[in-house]
Structure 1
């Protein structure tokens, strides 16, 4: 499958939300098992396979640097000793909205700049987590990080596995598989609970995309992480969008519409949009063709904040409850529509 293509916007600070629409192949399974040796708790050394080979962690990590948002979320949730991490990529503040605050000297890596190997090294890590690190998608960067400390990357491609298997990849590296399975079970239960509470979601359709200048990229690939997340709630993309070939210059699983084609958005019961830059929301919402879209007229159009868009574009098991709560008003509307 290779490393997923990511299209980026000029401002790196919005790379996950405003670069929206990373490729994803959610059916990819993480490696079956990591070889374990024995230290004090019988788990280490542990060897974790990943896209760039395999990494052996000799002892239970005591100084962890988390380079990706989902790395940080899972590591913090299982109580890992985090000494360095990337700040939130959105403009709402340095801390992901569903996580407990961390000291400023821990959230010291700036997503607006090129990854500083010197800064990473200054944390003196004994483990670097890069399973969801958008700045570590090539072997050269991985190799440089590996000279600092054992580094664990994604299994096959960035956001190329399910959110559950990405969490397991982090859990293996930390020796916290059982705690991660608890996180996964809680996330899966929350999704199942919403299906039970809102049975009207079953059979409904949705579209999730971005207004970016003259193009409207929509995430529609069956195995994108966001598509898998919404499918777990009972919603699917409209049939004419399902697994449509990717548009030129967009990531796999992403289809670009022009404003002249915006009528196709009426195929969705629920429309969720985020916006790449200043003026894009106004341009979208003030467009006469957009105003005629069924979801807009029925009140099931939902503009997303950058934090919401990032969490939906690349969901993780820790953010699931927060994200469901954020989307719930829209989900309730679409579940009740036509029922």
Structure 2
């Protein structure tokens, strides 16, 4: 299996642009040759095994360096790529097509495109045919039957305790996957770099700590709001915003991280900042809908619907997509909170 190294986060403070940009974020591209990257990654994992990883399903021990990895969880494949490992099979949760990764991943991240595996209902026979020696299902449903079928094929890193319904925290997903791939220290670095990046953004925008924020969704027939535990809200909190208290006080739906709202109750999302995520429609279509237009935040210019590419990156929450999302997002947040 070929390996590829990735650049680390750079400090935001070192790349603040003069003309209104609050930050820049490190590119996810790499200038290493494939052979050099393979050597570097192999050396970083040398002596790391065996490793043990705690999951909802018990402690899972990986005895030696995985050679054929299948990545099924939300964002698991991009996380594996961050640590230089090219999965032989991967799920394409956001229907990117091709190699199943977002446009923030450098062209040619794979030497050989992975077999694309279904998301909610993975094809177990197709997975078995890939002869994996490790399966990543870290940000997933946490369903016992799904896990049992996967673990009968190969050692499987499932969700951690409390990670059901895709609630595995970003940092935990990074550390679990990094450890499984023999790069626990690199995982700690990636998490530390994210913490530093968001700390720099908070320092540059101290007023955000006094503002409430809501992340909401719209489909053709429904409205909803995300709450703490969702990547969409957790990232806003990491940037200093406070969760809308009325939304925080409500019980989530079956997903564990979202609320169903009717048009008549949608105004509960009104906050100092409201960010929209269009599902099955264009951002422009969501912005034209009457419930969105009726928000006080919209009338005051304190709301916006995420552009499609930023929305995908922000939602996926992989190390690479998060860099891209924050680079694009911070100027939008500045515009709608000034």
- The TM-score normalised by the length of structure 2 is 0.76
Shift of residue 168 of structure 1?
0.8
Is contact 2:226–2:258 with CA below 8 Å preserved after alignment?
yes
1:261 and 2:256 correspond:
no
Shift of residue 176 of structure 1?
0.5
Alpha-carbon displacement from aligned partner over 1:7-48 (angstroms, at most 9, x marks no partner):
xxxxxxxxxxxxxxxxxxxxxxxxxxxxxxxxx933222222
Show the counterpart of 2:173. 166
Show the counterpart of 2:64. 59
Give 5+ residue unaligned stretches, structure 2.
1-44
Shift of residue 227 of structure 1?
2.6
Superposed, which structure 2 residues align to 1:3-82 within 5 Å?
Answer: 41-82=46-87
Choose the corresponding residue for 1:151, options 138, 153, 156: 156
Residues 1:97 and 1:133: Cα distance change in structure 2 (over 3 Å): farther
Show the counterpart of 2:205. 198
Is contact 1:205–1:236 with CA below 8 Å preserved after alignment?
yes
Show the counterpart of 1:99. 105
Show the counterpart of 2:182. 175
Show the counterpart of 2:321. 319
Is contact 1:219–1:254 with CA below 8 Å preserved after alignment?
yes
Alpha-carbon displacement from aligned partner over 1:82-122 (angstroms, at most 9, x marks no partner):
32222352457632233234449533214478311222123
What SS does the corresponding residue of 1:202 show, helix, strand or coil? Answer: helix
Alpha-carbon displacement from aligned partner over 1:52-109 (angstroms, at most 9, x marks no partner):
2232212111221111242222211111243222235245763223323444953321
Show the counterpart of 1:10. none
Shift of residue 334 of structure 1?
3.5
Show the counterpart of 1:130. 137
Q: Distance in 2 between matches of 1:95 and 1:196?
A: 32
Superposed, which structure 2 residues align to 1:157-306 within 5 Å?
Answer: 157-158=163-164, 159-220=166-227, 222-246=228-252, 250-265=254-269, 267-278=270-281, 282=285, 284-305=286-307
Runs of 4+ in structure 1 off by over 6 angstroms are none
What SS does the corresponding residue of 2:94 show, helix, strand or coil? Answer: coil
Q: Distance in 1 between matches of 2:316 and 2:247?
A: 20
What SS does the corresponding residue of 1:240 show, helix, strand or coil? Answer: helix
Alpha-carbon displacement from aligned partner over 1:179-216 (angstroms, at most 9, x marks no partner):
11111111111111111222232211111111134431
Is contact 1:245–1:253 with CA below 8 Å preserved after alignment?
no
In terms of fraction of residues, the more helix-rich structure is 2
Q: Distance in 2 between matches of 1:122 and 1:106?
A: 16
Shift of residue 166 of structure 1?
1.6
Is contact 2:266–2:291 with CA below 8 Å preserved after alignment?
yes
Is contact 1:208–1:272 with CA below 8 Å preserved after alignment?
yes
Q: Distance in 2 between matches of 1:43 and 1:168?
A: 14
Alpha-carbon displacement from aligned partner over 1:102-144 (angstroms, at most 9, x marks no partner):
449533214478311222123222111110245xx32222222
What is the Cα-based RMSD across aligned positions, in Å? Answer: 2.7
Is contact 2:274–2:303 with CA below 8 Å preserved after alignment?
yes
Task: Name the structure, 1 or 2, with higher relative contact order (CA <8 Å, separation 6+).
Answer: 1
- The TM-score normalised by the length of structure 1 is 0.76
Residues 1:275 and 1:111: Cα distance change in structure 2 (over 3 Å): farther
Is contact 2:135–2:157 with CA below 8 Å preserved after alignment?
yes
Alpha-carbon displacement from aligned partner over 1:308-333 (angstroms, at most 9, x marks no partner):
44443452334322111231232112
